Structure 1
Amino acid sequence: MPKAAIQFKNVQKKFGSRTVISGLSFTINAGELVTILGSSGSGKTTTLKMVNGLLKADEGQILVDGKRLADQDIVRLRRHIGYVVQQVGLFPHMTVAENIAVVPKMLHWNGKQIKERVNELLQLVQLNPADYAGRYPCQLSGGQQQRVGVARALAVNPPYVLFDEPFGALDALTRMELQKEIKQIHQQLGDKTFLFVTHDINEALFLGQRVMVMHEGQVEQFATPSEVVNHPATAFVRDLLGTVQQNKKLWGGYHD
């Protein structure tokens, strides 16, 4: 039986008088790559931020590795949850190697350990350590910065990695390349639980072993990509899939 890694039990979140998440319940298994798909305002990023305590649930329970989030030292927990965001957030005054080493240094790793880990991670994200370790963020392309962001998130070998629309600002070709790399990295590492938020249906279906479709703070469907495509559970999911078909028809109309 799969081990539960992240569980939401009847979780609610409000901003002022507005309820953003209502009665949200789901379970993500250890080692899964789950994508959360939804339009703006669906609650997907709010859900992600509640996993590592950046936002606190107003009602219900969130469990990470079987332990209630409310009972854990959040700062300590965050050091063991990788976090990758669209803005990347690299420190501009630090080299690539120094950026990746931030959390290992906080955890008092020795210099040899840190250097070995930085080199290992740069190779994992397809950046040659000899060429990139000493560069500064301003000397990198958007795609290269995002690769460093992924490496930094993996620095202390966390069991969980959260991705908040990390490729949203990248061009289509770079985005596709990085999607393939994330999938490959997840397969290569084997035991990591990846939770990846996106508003791009193609990205969600390509990356996710399971896809959680959210709308107005609720889960419309949580199933494999094949199940979502072939058996949409609600009218909203059907409409969402319909946008892909509309785009195909649109591009099919352009020909010589």
Structure 2
Amino acid sequence: MTEIIKFDHVTKRYGDKIVIDNLNFSIKTGEFITILGTSGSGKTTTLKMINRLIEPSSGAVIFDGSQIDQLDEITLRRRIGYVVQQIGLFPHQIVEENIAIVPKLLNWDKKTIKARVSELLSLIKLPYDQYAKRYPNELSGGQQQRVGVARALAADPSVTLFDEPFGAIDAITRSELQEELLTIHKTYPNKTFVFITHDIYEAFKLGTRVMIMDEGKIAQFDTPEAILKKPANDFVKRLLDTAKNQESLWG
């Protein structure tokens, strides 16, 4: 697998406060990376530096072989899907129009756009003939989030970023969406997903590798199995112990 994202000695400061402290890591094409951490650990800042919503104070972020500060911001972002917790569907546009936004900006022809929208609606289990002409307010929260995922994938990006997309959704729907996202990733094995969560179960269920962050640094970055088998430090061990204690409530 080729390297699609690399952080090379990346630091982010706000005044005297260091938010990201000398990050070094790489992500290969086709990986599903989950970034796990408490509030303020730096996970969202790390994610937003990939699509230049936040610029590093020093160091380099490299995307598909190019240093991203040498790339046009708009062109870069059209190559990267982005899903957020707030979804952000346009309320005055029907589902089909919401999904088609980036393909239209890229001047895809109408027939190709319709075929892509239909393909993605099928993939997220919202059939075209039933859902394409609905407005966002006619959908449940889980259905809106599915459309948000489809919109992020519409222009066939090589990388898709997910910023706690299921955080505001009920537990049953969240579990269903996790399964669907795993299916989508298997359907497109060359696509790279980077997914932020503060839920340890979600991180370990979805990630081919899990990056655990603490105070702007990487505490451990490995497969779920390797982390469970050998926590790298006391912080990771406490995180795992907390999850085990919660699990014990259910016997």
Same fold (TM over 0.5): yes
Q: Does 1:213 align with 2:212?
A: yes
The one-letter amino acid paired with 1:153 is: A
> Which deviations, in whole Å up to 9, do the C-alpha atoms of 1:167-226 show, x marking residues without a partner?
000000000000011111001111101000000000000000000000000000000000
Q: Report the Cα offset of residue 79 of structure 1.
A: 0.5
Structure 2, unaligned runs of 5 or more = none
Q: Report the Cα offset of residue 249 of structure 1.
A: 2.1
* Inter-partner Cα distance in structure 2 for 1:249 and 1:133: 44
* Inter-partner Cα distance in structure 2 for 1:128 and 1:61: 42
* Partner in structure 2 of residue 88 of structure 1: 87
* Inter-partner Cα distance in structure 1 for 2:192 and 2:203: 15
* Partner in structure 2 of residue 203 of structure 1: 202
Q: Report the Cα offset of residue 165 of structure 1.
A: 0.3
Q: Does 1:152 align with 2:151?
A: yes
* Inter-partner Cα distance in structure 1 for 2:161 and 2:29: 13
> Which deviations, in whole Å up to 9, do the C-alpha atoms of 1:210-246 show, x marking residues without a partner?
0000000000000000001111001000000011111
> Which deviations, in whole Å up to 9, do the C-alpha atoms of 1:22-64 show, x marking residues without a partner?
1001000111001000010000000000000000001001000
Q: Does 1:47 align with 2:49?
A: no
* Partner in structure 1 of residue 184 of structure 2: 185
* Inter-partner Cα distance in structure 2 for 1:230 and 1:219: 18
The one-letter amino acid paired with 1:7 is: K
Local SS of the residue matching 2:89: coil
* Partner in structure 2 of residue 7 of structure 1: 6
* Inter-partner Cα distance in structure 1 for 2:174 and 2:159: 22
**Percent of counterpart pairs with the same letter?**
56
> Which deviations, in whole Å up to 9, do the C-alpha atoms of 1:110-158 show, x marking residues without a partner?
1111111110110011111111000000000010000000000000100
* Partner in structure 2 of residue 65 of structure 1: 64
Structure 1, unaligned runs of 5 or more = none
* Partner in structure 2 of residue 236 of structure 1: 235
The one-letter amino acid paired with 1:136 is: Y
Q: Does 1:103 align with 2:102?
A: yes
* Partner in structure 1 of residue 225 of structure 2: 226
RMSD, aligned α-carbons: 0.7
Indicate the larger mover: 110-119 or 161-170: 110-119
* Inter-partner Cα distance in structure 2 for 1:240 and 1:180: 24
Q: Report the Cα offset of residue 74 of structure 1.
A: 1.2
List structure 1 segments (4+ residues) > 6 angstroms apart after TM superposition. Answer: none
* Inter-partner Cα distance in structure 1 for 2:248 and 2:33: 29
The one-letter amino acid paired with 1:111 is: K
* Inter-partner Cα distance in structure 2 for 1:192 and 1:156: 12
The one-letter amino acid paired with 2:106 is: L
TM-score computed with the length of structure 2 as normaliser: 0.99
The one-letter amino acid paired with 2:3 is: A
* Inter-partner Cα distance in structure 2 for 1:133 and 1:209: 32
Local SS of the residue matching 1:251: coil
* Partner in structure 1 of residue 126 of structure 2: 127
* Partner in structure 2 of residue 77 of structure 1: 76
TM-score computed with the length of structure 1 as normaliser: 0.97
Q: Report the Cα offset of residue 17 of structure 1.
A: 2.3
> Which deviations, in whole Å up to 9, do the C-alpha atoms of 1:38-95 show, x marking residues without a partner?
0100000000000000000010010001110111111101011000000000000000
